[in-house]
Amino acid sequence: MKATYRAMQVKTPGNLELVERQTPAPNPGEVLIAVEACGICGADASDIDNADPALQPRVPGHEVVGRIVAIGANTPSIWKVGQRVGVGRLGGHCNECNECRRGRFNLCRNQPIVGSSCDGGYAEIMIARATGLVSIPDELSSEEAAPILCAGIATFNALKKSGAEPGDTVAVLGIGGLGHMALQYARKMGFRVIAVGRGEDIAADAARLGAHRYIDTYVENPADAINAMGGAKAILTTTANPTAVSALMPALAPEGRLIVLGVGKDPLPVSTRSLVGAERSIVGSITGSPYENEKTLDFSVLTGVRPMIETMPLERAEDAVQKMRSGDAKFRIVLTMGDQTDAH
């Protein structure tokens, strides 16, 4: 195993630097991963800008795929050296808290947040808790699988929680890293899919990704347009813009559900009359357990769902993050680490 590895770390809030680090050894219940690919998520920007000085220097990135090169003591036998695995935003449940005892592992209060409270995948090597590991199907390349570990499971699980059934109308607000996955999953699940975005330039992409109808908010009132189609049984919002989200609330059909995925600082204004009068509801959804992540990967293989990606090398992580911030990425950028065949 190499004595050192390269990593892009947050030296000061908002700034990344390429460094050489000593290769660590995994503790009990952990594995050491030779990273092959790491997707860049919108949450990475927040991790980079708001890095806790007490936790610096931190390595961001939480859509990680690589191969196990070392295993700590007391790690379950299902994990083997050489096995290809992934790690998402949730870094591994504790198996002790009330949520874990209920089997709600994604709600565990004692797990690290990858790229925020523990080092992530903008690096050639990464330590991961065994409870956070996800097995990667052979049919997916590492670059394809990486975004599914966050953007994929977030939207896949949200659709499963939406209450919508095949044939129902589902709207997706925001056609970016998460939204472009949501459109594909929604179409494959048998929903009537409405994409809501800004500008006509995204219309062709939305149609290719599975939307039956694209609504340009610069041209149409999205709530009026959706209500003209009978209303939406579910609306997935991937944007953190509370004004845009509130504007779509009237488009929910009776007993419809708004699933909130986009995280922002500003409060979401809601009309209590619209909630009570037709028994509509609003729920949040946070990715899922490793098992659910594997179900998402399997569904993606079975139905041909794939993220639209472009790849960039690790040393260009700063450029990749800036491109993501600008909105120019279509739709996910994935960092690659070069040849890792001799990492073990």
- Ordered by where they begin, the domains of the chain are 4-150+288-336 (3.90.180.10), 162-284 (3.40.50.720)
Question: Dihedral of the CA atoms 296, 301, 307, 310 (nearest 10)?
Answer: 130
SS3 146: helix
Q: What is the pLDDT of residue 342?
A: 61
Q: What is the pLDDT of residue 1?
A: 77
- Would you state the structure tokens that stand for residue 121, as one six-digit string? 């995948």
In this prediction, what percent of the chain has a pLDDT beyond 90? 87
Q: Are strands 84-87 and 63-71 parallel, antiparallel or unpaired?
A: antiparallel
Contact at 8 Å (CB) between 116 and 1? no
How many CB atoms within 10 Å of residue 26? 20
Instruction: Look at the alpha carbons of 186, 191, 196, 201 in this order and tell me if their dihedral is positive or negative.
Output: positive
Rg of the chain on CA atoms, in Å? 20
d(CA 210, CA 7): 37
C-alpha span between 71 and 280 (Å, rounded): 48
Q: Residue 340: what pLDDT? A: 65
How many other CB atoms are there within 10 angstroms of residue 313's CB atom? Answer: 12
User: In this structure, what token pair is assigned to residue 145?
Assistant: 């699988």
State the chain's mean pLDDT as an integer.
Answer: 94
Matching residue, tokens 């028994």: 279
Structure tokens at 280: 């509509």
pLDDT digits (tens, 9 = 90+) for 17-32: 999 999 999 999 999 9
Q: What is the pLDDT of residue 343?
A: 61
| Stated pTM of the model | 0.94
Residue pLDDT, tens place only, 215-234: 999 999 999 999 999 999 99
Mind listing the pLDDT tens digit of every residue in the chain (344 residues)? 789 999 999 988 889 999 999 999 999 999 999 999 999 999 999 999 988 777 779 999 999 999 999 999 999 999 999 999 999 999 999 999 999 999 999 999 999 999 999 999 999 999 999 999 999 999 999 999 999 999 999 999 999 999 999 999 999 999 999 999 999 999 999 999 999 999 999 999 999 999 999 999 999 999 999 999 999 999 999 998 999 999 999 999 999 999 999 888 888 888 888 888 889 999 999 999 999 999 999 999 999 999 999 999 999 999 999 999 998 888 999 999 976 656 65
**One-character DSSP codes across 8-64:** EEEEETTEEEEEEEEPP-PPTTEEEEEEEEEEE-HHHHHHHHT--GGG-SB----EE
Q: Mind listing the pLDDT tens digit for each residue in 226-284?
A: 999 999 999 999 998 999 999 999 999 999 999 999 888 888 888 888 888 889 999 99
What pLDDT sits at residue 341? Answer: 59
Pairing of strands 281-284, 252-260: parallel
Count other Cβ atoms within 10 Å, centred on residue 234: 24
